[in-house]
Structure 1
Amino acid sequence: MATHQLPIPGTAPTLTTERLRLRPIVLDDFAEYAKLMASSRSEYMGGPFDTAAAWGLFCHEVALWHLAGHGGLSVELRSTGACVGQVEINHGPLFPERELGWQVYEEYEGNGYITEAAGALLGWAFSELKVTTLVSYVDPNNIRSVAVAKRLGGVLDPSAQKQDEGDLVFRYTQRY
């Protein structure tokens, strides 16, 4: 069960789970983020990206908190403080609907961290933002992200508008 601290308007909250702390993104998080975005692992997101493009995406995660009341959070291990990736709720001109997204740094894959973190952010969005639905746009070749979306309860929505032509769109709805 995730706990959360209510945000000050325009600022990112801090959410905690049993193993993780989802916290506001800080400048020191950029080096690992840029490394991921420059790698072949970002191909499923339209990459690889050069440093300038990665910086724009990174800043988008932060700016959305002020513009839309949601955005990105860095995911760190409560036991060590190591940053293992990011989760985010995206929207704006790049996304047809509010999107639940995630990135995990390679050395932390396979531990369930992103499923745990994305689940906490999804719960926060339903309880605090009062959204009734979110989607995840997933490249069909990204088997790990398809599995995360399914573990989170996402259901394929073939009628949903896609971010990119080949995307699978997984829809999440609040369960009462």
Structure 2
Amino acid sequence: MIAVVEQHRPGPGSRQAARLGGHVPSIDTRRLQLRGPRIYDFAAYAKILCSDRAEYMGGPYSRTEAWSDFTQYTALWLLHGHGLWTIDAQTSPSAGFVLLGYEYDDPEAELGVFLTEEAEGQGYALEACEAARDYALGTLAWDSVVSYIDGENSRCCRLMERLGAARDRAAETALGDGTFVYRHKRGDA
């Protein structure tokens, strides 16, 4: 069942939301567009987070938990000037999501990515992460950004290595929960 809060509500409020969303930077890559999330993107977000695809992200989530996560990462744009992008591929709108995010207990901002099952295996995660990383290190002038990875998520670990990130053992020790911390630094790409 789709909750009322998930449904588009036409009128002045939705027009204002569209204007605000238009201020989220879009990034065009060779095959993708990273753009601000819209209410209709939540269906794809929930499909990922409410399934076994969220195994290494603390899931599967309930739909209510997925909504809270989606709105938190979307709100980061207003609070910190970075947040969640929807990944639109040429053949698949809402193919997944990439973020420069913060969870409440995170010691620093995180580069993360998750895709729909249909978008897997096409190189979209690498292309989206490169674009978001370059935005963080270039446009936002960060010295580095981290990716927090479950040590059992070997596919994501390989992705981080392909991106040129290296494990930060000091950050892993500080977290103390077994999470791998991959650090992306300016000039490493």
Does TM, scored on the shorter chain, surpass 0.5?
yes
Q: Is the 1:70–1:90 Cα contact (8 Å) retained in structure 2?
A: yes
Q: Is the 8 A contact 2:110 2:146 kept in 1?
A: yes
5 Å-filtered alignment, 1:1-176, equals 11-77=23-89, 79-80=90-91, 82-161=93-172, 165-175=177-187
5+ residue gaps, structure 1, are 1-7
Secondary structure at the counterpart of residue 106 of structure 2: coil
Determine which structure has greater relative contact order: mean sequence separation of CA pairs < 8 Å that are 6+ residues apart, divided by chain length. Answer: 1
Higher helix share: 2
Q: Is the 8 A contact 1:137 1:163 kept in 2?
A: no
Q: Which of these two proteins has the greater Rg computed from alpha carbons?
A: 2
Gaps of 5+ in 2: 1-19
Between the aligned partners of 2:121 and 2:175, the Cα distance in structure 1 is 26
Q: What is the TM-score normalised by the length of structure 1?
A: 0.89
What SS does structure 1 have at the residue aligned with 2:183?
strand
Report what 2:15 is aligned to. Answer: none
Indicate the RMSD between aligned Cα atoms, in angstroms.
Answer: 1.8
Structure 1 residue 139: Cα displacement = 0.5
How far the C-alpha of 1:80 sits from its partner, in A, is 3.1
Q: Distance in 2 between matches of 1:172 and 1:68?
A: 19
Identity %: 38
Counterpart AA for 2:50: A
Q: TM-score, normalised by structure 2?
A: 0.83
